[in-house]
Structures are given as C-alpha cells and as structure tokens.
Structure 1
Amino acid sequence: MPTPTDGTDGTPGDGGADGYDLRHHGDAEVRDDGGVLTDLAVNVRAGTPPAWLKATIAASLDGLAAYPDGRAARAAVARRHGRPVAEVLLTAGAAEAFVLLARAFAPRHAVVVHPQFTEPEAALRDAGHAVHRVVLDAADGFRLDPAAVPEDADFVVLGNPTNPTSALHPSDVVARLARPGRTLVVDEAFMDAVPGESASLAARRDVPGLVVLRSLTKTWGLAGLRIGYVLAGAEHIALLERAQPLWAVSSPGLAAIEACVTPDALAEAERAAAEIAVCRAYLLARLGEFDDLRVAGTPAGPFVLVELPDAAAVRERLRDLGFAVRRADTFPGLGGRWLRIAVRDAATTDAFVEALTKARSTRDPEVPEVSS
C-alpha cells in the first residue's frame, strides 16, 4: 500500500533535509564527461532535434531584435488540444511551470505523490509551503491508489507517465483525485512518448481544478531551449500568468512551440512513440537475462527503473565502461538499489547489456573471494 509521510521534517524550503537531493537531475551524470559516455541517464530522445526543427529555430533568429510575441504559438497549442487560448500558458519548460504554481497558489495541505520528478516538491518548499508525501509501493508496481491521498489535500501533484518509475496511470484513475477546491497538477512531460497519448488528460475540461503540464524538450531534443506549456481553466491560467515574468519564452522558443504542434510534427512524434515502445520491449527482454535484476512495474515511458543489489557500485563501473545511467536514490521512496535507464535503439541496448554484464561480474577489490 502507498505510504503517507511528512516529506522531510516538514520545514518549508528545506529542499530535502531527509537525505534526498531534490535538486539532483540526470544531466549531472554527463555534465562533465566530455562527451565520452553513452548517455542513458537523460531522457531526451536520441538523434534530436530533427533538421527541419533546427531550420525553423534558426530562421527565427532574424527577429531577435523584437520582443517575443507568443500569441501565434499560444493559439497553436490551444488548437492542438481543443481548448480556448485563455486556457493555455507558455512556459520556459515544465520546471518554470512548477515554480509558477508554487508562487501563485497558497495550499494549506500540499501533497506530492512519489517517487516522481523532484522539482515540484523543491519548488513548493522554496516558496515556503510544507509538503506531505504519498509514497507509492514498489511491490505494487508503483501504481496509483487515489484513496492514499488525504481527503483534505487541496494541492496534489502527480507525474503521468511518472519519472522515474515509468508507470502510466489510467486517466480515469488520475481523474478520481479531483475534488472541488483542490488543484490537481498532472505532469505529462513524457506523455507524447506514449503511443496515442492513451492516458492524457490534456483535452479534459470537465475535471475540476485540473492543471496539466506538458514539455516539448524530451521528444524534440530541446532541453537547452526550455519550452513547455500549461493547460488549465482560465482562472488558474490567469493566476499563473500574473506570477510569470514578462517575455518568459524566447522568440526561438516560441517558433519551436508552434512548429512542434503542427499536424506533421504530431505525426512524427507518434511514430517516435511507437519506435520507443519497440525499443523498450527489446531493452526489457535483454534486462530479463539478469536473474537478480528487477524492472519496476510495467514501463510505459522512454525509460525504465530497475532494482539490483549492488546498483551504486554497478553505476560507477558502467561509467568506467562508457555508459551513464541515472542514480535513483535522490527520488523520495527509492534508495541505493535503484537505477533509471533511458530507452535507446537495439544496437545501443546490446552494447549496454554487454557493459552491464561486465559491471556485474567485476568484484570490488575490498570484497574477498569466497573459498570453497
């Protein structure tokens, strides 16, 4: 069963006094490697951005002398999700959206469902809000149980599909978290990597208090450009807009947003999602060759979470063998036995599994051989 906790010591702004480094993210695994490691730590799709998107962004540079005008991009996002323009806010990635939410709202009882992306909790704490954690159960595949969220919670944050567990929660189950007077924040940063976006709530306008966050940085390889958006009722969007600095999204970012929500781009994203599903199935099959390695739940995102006894040591050995994977002990609810692995093509997976085999067979020098 999910475990309710007080988070850290309940002190607003402590950022992880209970030992979880909420500000650690996957890019730290490869930031200073000089490009020599095969990156399985960051969940940006390999081989992106595509050439046509680079050309679109480059063409926007001629307009840099003018202040950004987000009207066309905002209207394009609204059309893509069948919403009025007043229900869309463009942001500098999903990370900015979490900060805006923490600034704009004053929750009495904020709940973050873990394990998940740690930035929502960090932003809430930095804004002075105490955070209550509901930790999902590994034995149950980290599946969401709406009953585990306290009834009096007035601000609830959930990822879907969830980073790092790769769990995809059915949309009707997620919608059961909604209540009058409650703000329900659903982070769908990886939803466009799910074929058909089958569990998305992005087009739902009948769920009270619903706020959906979307990112365009993962599928399109634009983490350095910082683009995303928020979908919510007009009242919520107005609150967030007042908390947002002027011109938060650059002109190149606006051009990229508009380009990434065209019908052709959506079709390309759907093809990419189908390819990810095939590559993930292959990765899971190869990981199944290890008797003492357990994959969490039923992965649905462009990454998988695995548990193995000596994960921390294996991660370091993998670096020596040329592969970076994401440590998972910075996620509340997980510990040193867990690693997150990004889905890549079959050839990369084969090379990774070969390295993993070597990493698992290498003994630490301080561990003596056992005599028979």
Structure 2
Amino acid sequence: MKHGGNIYGFAERIGCRSDQVLDFSANINPVQAIDWRTLQFDPSPYADPDYSALKEALRYRYPLPNDTDLEPFNGASAAIFALLRRLHPEEVVLYTPMYVEYARIARQLDCRIRCIDRFGRFEQTEIPPHSTVIFVNPATPDGALYDLHELLAQWQAARCTILIDESFLDFCPAAATTSIADRIGQIPNLYLIKSLSKFYGSAGVRIGFVAAEKTAITKLQRLEPAWKLSSFDIAYMHQALYNDAFADNTRRQTTQLRESLRQMLEDSKLFDRVYPSQANFILVRLAKIDGHALQRHLEKARILIRVCDNFEGLDKRYVRFAVKDAESIARLAECLQHV
C-alpha cells in the first residue's frame, strides 16, 4: 500500500464493509471540525475563482507577513506537484524517511534526487549549492518535530530553494512558535506547504495551500486552472478554519491520546523501538515479525495498519499507527495481546 487509508480495497479483500474497518493506517484526525450535514452553501453559481473568503480564513488561522501570499490547491499532493513543476529543479534534496509523494513527483520531472537520512547525523551533511531542499516538519512517518533554525541558515548559505511541509504541525502545542511562516520574505525562495485534511478530519475535502512571497505565488498562479476547488470544499474549510475551540481541543486531545497509544505500544512485547512523536501518529519497529505478518493477524479484527516499507531507508519491520480515539486504542491493545 503506497499510502494509508485505502480502506476500500482492504474491506473488499477481507469481505466486510468499509465502515466496519478500524483504520490505524491513515493519520487523519478522528474528530471533524464541523458537521458537514448542517453546512449551507449554494452549488449553482461558480465558486469565487480568487478564493477571497477562503484566503481570508486561511490567514486568520495561519498568519503570514504582509509581503506574502498563498495559493489554495485541491489537496497537498496537487500543491506539491504544481510547485515542483513550476520550480522544475535540477537537483532535489529529500530528508528521508518522508512522504513518498515528493520522490515520486521528482522522478516524474526527471530531477536528480539526493536523500539525506534524518535518523543519522544529518545536520552535518553538506548540501549541494542551488539545490531544492524539501523537509517535512513534523516528519512522517515518525512524527519528530525539529528546530529548523540552523538548517535554514545552512540551506540559505548554499542558496537553496527551500520547501517546508507543515501538514502535521497543527497537532503540536508548539505550532505557533515552530512554523517558518514568519520567515517567508526574510529568506529568499522559501515556500510553505500545508495540507488541511489531516488536522480538520476531512480527507474527502481536498484543500491544501502553498505560501510564499507574492511574486513567487503570482508565477505559480500563471500555470493554474480556474476553479480548482468546489463550492462545498470552500464552504466547509472556511467554516472549519474559524473554529478556535476545535483547534485548541484537538491539540490537547491528540497529546493525551498519543501518550495513551505510546504507552500501550511500549508495554507490548512486539516492538523493539517506539519512536517519540509530536504528531498524530507513532512509528514502531517490530522485534520478531514483520509488518505484513502483523497486518494478517489484525485482519481478523478488521484493523488496518500502515506498513512503512516504501519509505526511503525503512523496511517491512516498520509500522505506523495513527492516533485514534480511546475506544479504538483499547481495541487495538486487546488485539495485539493475541499476536
């Protein structure tokens, strides 16, 4: 499985309905920001092609310096592809393991790819001048949160184009002080990428965005079609972004539930390492069996997990568990006892 969340194929294979699957593979907030059934919007006119109201809501939730702009996309994957297509770098530096979409798109664009292992002493690695560096913070699949101050200085000294993916930063209590958003404009060629579906519990509402200097966003917009987003997507996310209570509660609940999941995994005899995480998922390494064998055991309980063998530098011993609600964590704990 290339990505988490393919509950449909899993359900078909084991002979159940998709809504009967307990999905620990997709790192999506189990709580939604709003009740979509009460959402009021008019589907008859075209959506605003400038996304004015949505951009205002995005700036409310994610403040940006005055000389910056942002461009919404139909999900983070679309944003990644559009930005790399616009930049078309000769050489891409990926801090791995990371979201597999970056390497896939870079290969499609015939970029030279250099991978730097985050699990090693990566801060001391020399960076090719004028390359495009891509860093996910907090990282996936392990959820490590990094202070990027020294790395930003290193990349800037090498005159790199810098892409920082903060799709999971909203789950962190330190989100406001860790984001590089306020550095846009201070550091040349700095781009921020963000997915909104994870935090707002709305994988079916495809919205992500790129933030950068105004001139950079203007160049990016020239390649974009009109009406990339539906009126429903815009209306849903517009309302979700103004839900302050949801954002605060999610960070608090994620911290508590992640600790419960971590402790349960630590207590299990199945894993020889549980990686510390600041995101809404936890990476583990199995001690004796591999992730595919564990998945076969859990299929009896209709539980889907994410085996991380397609992440650069990882193999089938590595598994990622999304943070779910307390009842789901308890059900997983019971099933792991019988493996």
Answer whether contact 2:5 2:23 (CA < 8 A) is retained: no
Answer whether contact 2:145 2:278 (CA < 8 A) is retained: yes
What residue number does 1:184 align with? 162
Answer whether contact 1:78 1:84 (CA < 8 A) is retained: no
What residue number does 1:15 align with? none
Shift of 1:54: 4.5
Write the distance in 1 (CA, Å) between the matches of 2:66 and 2:55.
Answer: 10
Answer whether contact 2:275 2:284 (CA < 8 A) is retained: no
Amino acid at match of 2:218: A
Of 125, 135, 150 in structure 1, the residue corresponding to residue 107 of structure 2 is 125
Write the distance in 2 (CA, Å) between the matches of 1:178 and 1:260.
Answer: 35
Shift of 1:29: 5.0
Q: Is 1:285 matched up with 2:269?
A: no
Identity over the aligned pairs, expressed in percent? Answer: 24
Answer whether contact 1:103 1:243 (CA < 8 A) is retained: no
* Offset from partner CA, 1:65-99 (integer Å, 9 cap, x none): 32433112123323441334851111111111111
Write the distance in 1 (CA, Å) between the matches of 2:282 and 2:334.
Answer: 18
Amino acid at match of 1:48: Q
- TM (normalized to structure 1)? 0.81
Structure 1 residue ranges (4+ consecutive) displaced by more than 6 angstroms after TM superposition = none
Q: Is 1:355 matched up with 2:335?
A: yes
Shift of 1:153: 5.0
Answer whether contact 1:216 1:260 (CA < 8 A) is retained: no
* 1:28-43 equivalences in 2 (<5 Å): 28-33=6-11, 34-35=17-18, 36-43=20-27
Answer whether contact 2:88 2:109 (CA < 8 A) is retained: no
Write the distance in 2 (CA, Å) between the matches of 1:278 and 1:200.
Answer: 22
Residues paired across the two proteins, number: 326
Q: Is 1:225 matched up with 2:209?
A: no
Structure 1 residue ranges without an equivalent (≥5): 1-20, 360-372
What residue number does 2:276 align with? 298
Structure 2 residue ranges without an equivalent (≥5): 12-16
Answer whether contact 1:78 1:87 (CA < 8 A) is retained: no
What residue number does 1:5 align with? none
Q: Is 1:269 matched up with 2:269?
A: no
What residue number does 2:38 align with? 55
* Offset from partner CA, 1:149-189 (integer Å, 9 cap, x none): 52425201111111111111124245334316321111111
Answer whether contact 1:192 1:270 (CA < 8 A) is retained: no
* 1:20-169 equivalences in 2 (<5 Å): 24-33=2-11, 34-35=17-18, 36-51=20-35, 53-56=36-39, 59-60=40-41, 62-69=42-49, 70-80=51-61, 81-84=63-66, 87-137=69-119, 145-148=122-125, 150-152=127-129, 154-169=131-146
Of 226, 242, 253 in structure 2, the residue corresponding to residue 246 of structure 1 is 226
2:252 partner SS: helix
What residue number does 1:365 align with? none
Write the distance in 2 (CA, Å) between the matches of 1:298 and 1:207.
Answer: 30
- TM (normalized to structure 2)? 0.89
Q: Is 1:257 matched up with 2:237?
A: yes
